[in-house]
Homo-oligomer: A and B are copies of this chain.
Amino acid sequence: MATNFFCLMLVLFQSVFALNQQKPNIIFMLMDDMGWGDLGIFGHPAKETPNLDKMSAEGMLFTDFYSANPLCSPSRAAMLTGRLPIRNGFYTSTYHGHNGYTPQNIVGGISDSEVLLPELLKQAGYYTKLIGKWHLGHQEQYLPLKHGFDEWFGAPNCHFGPYDDVSTPNIPVYDNEDMIGRYYEDFVIDRNKDLSNYTHFLIEKAKEFISRMHQADSPFFLYWAPDSTHDPVYSSEKFRGKSQRGAYGDAVMELDYGVGSILNLLKELNLDQNTLVFFSSDNGAAMLSSSCVDGSNGPFLCGKQTTFEGGVREPTIAWGPGFVKPGQISHQLGSLMDWFATAADLAGVSPPTDRLYDGISLRSVLYNGEPFNRPIFHYRGNTLFAVRFGLYKAHYWTWTNSWEEYKTHGYEFCRGENVPNITTHDQMNYTAQPVMFHLGRDPGEKCPMKFNSEYEAAMKLIKNEVMKHEQNLIPGDAVLDMCDNGIMNWAPKGCDKLNKCLEGPPSEPFKCVWNH
């Protein structure tokens, strides 16, 4: 009876999809430094995300979904290429196990040899847009329009600042090819009041794009990437002071509102049956502020920058009544890189076969909840730190950040948490006998398993997965090694129209310093 019902549902789902004929629209909603524990449905006690909780109730919630890296740029590059940073080049070879990203003075960016999802989808007739943060390199050759996006509204780097525009320029905001202003100058972020209209713009831009695509009757790919939960956090006046969580919570509430608005628009336009929406975050919540104005990683250990669960487990939801039944919970081990594979699969396009991919299509999981076994590899920079397989996680290396940085800046990526010999300021090499946690019994990674028969059996499986992984691994050329203050955003294309071109120093490349 259950089986018959299930089969009927499957046929119905497939029929809807088949009837539609047209390509499914794809939306990636990727938050910035939002933690697993920030959503009500994932257990935040403030329960201030009614729209995301509803999205989850209408779709599929993923409890065990991972970023491709504990840091922003590599995670985003991996999501768009379907390949780990160690393959696509988004790492640094200069230091052992240090994270790198794309600050203003980074020389590198996404390689032309990488094929991004929007490039693939364009081949299949999709119209593609990025709204929000890019972070895959800001020199002209690396920008979104050079890598498959038809349109872009947003900024190439983080909204740190304000800068003095003399030693460091403020970050430009682009509308397609041209700069249309800069953060803090034309797009105000009031750091005293944690106030900015920027998320509001990004929500409106998303709705405008979706409506326009509906009018044009074109399949579309929208990558919606607001950055307001990244330090310094901000929200619009409407949401300021509304959360019991302070400025960070206000930002979450505005994003939750935005998600709700976008899903509602899809329903209004009858696009919901043919649109698949993924929601997640690029990495775990950051733990920098001594006043706790940041996100929550729920019960998980440590945060952003680390390969503990708090650094890599993401609050992930898939939504789209044409693709996924409501109210499902999936324990499938997933990765942001799976979004690449799933979107390509559903759009019917095949990525180049001359390279290996880490993402796997989630089609069977979405359509009928069928899980599959697979390992998740957690790198920090150039080093494989940890591997999850089944409910087990083996740490080959553990580290938070250096003693030097901790003592100088007080940075603690495991604020208030201390697992002896694990959450250390020294890099701990456990490759000879990895430290293992059972994430079912111990999701918070507090009790290392004993070296018993259970350990041996799990380790045997994991070692086998690592061997297969490493046998086939061809590291890409590291693109995060070199920096140069001369290539900062002094004079982005279009600055002349705004009279916003700045004079920078001459080019003088140097090896980037990566602290953690």
Contacts and interface: CB of A to CB of B under 8 A. Distances in A.
Interface of A: 37, 40, 42-47, 61, 63-64, 243-246, 248-249, 289-293, 296-299, 301, 313, 329, 331, 391, 415-419, 438, 440-447, 449-450
Nearest to A420: B416
B43 A244 contact: no
Contacts of A438: 246, 292
Grouping DSSP codes into helix (H, G, I), strand (E, B) and loop, the A interface class, with mixed when no group exceeds half, is: loop
Number of copies: 2
Contact of A63 (B46, B64, B297): B46
Contacts of A297: 299
A92 B243 CA distance: 41
A299 B37 contact: yes
Contact of A299 (B45, B442, B445, B446): B45
9 contacts: A43-B43, A46-B440, A46-B443, A47-B61, A244-B331, A245-B440, A246-B441, A292-B446, A296-B444
Contact of A246 (B291, B440, B450): B440
A441 B244 CA distance: 7
B301 A298 contact: no
Given A46-B63, A244-B331, A299-B299, A290 B447 contact: yes
A391 B244 contact: yes
A366 to B, nearest CB: 18
Given A416-B301, A418-B417, A419-B416, A443 B45 contact: yes
A243 B331 CA distance: 13
A415 B446 contact: yes
A246 B419 CA distance: 21
Contacts of A446: 292, 415-416
Contacts of A441: 244-246, 248-249, 291-293
Contacts of A61: 47
A238 B110 CA distance: 53
Given A441-B246, A441-B291, A447-B290, A64 B43 contact: no
Nearest to A443: B45
Contacts of A329: 40, 47
A289 B245 CA distance: 33
Given A244-B441, A416-B446, A418-B418, 6 more contacts: A43-B298, A244-B391, A246-B441, A291-B447, A292-B446, A299-B299
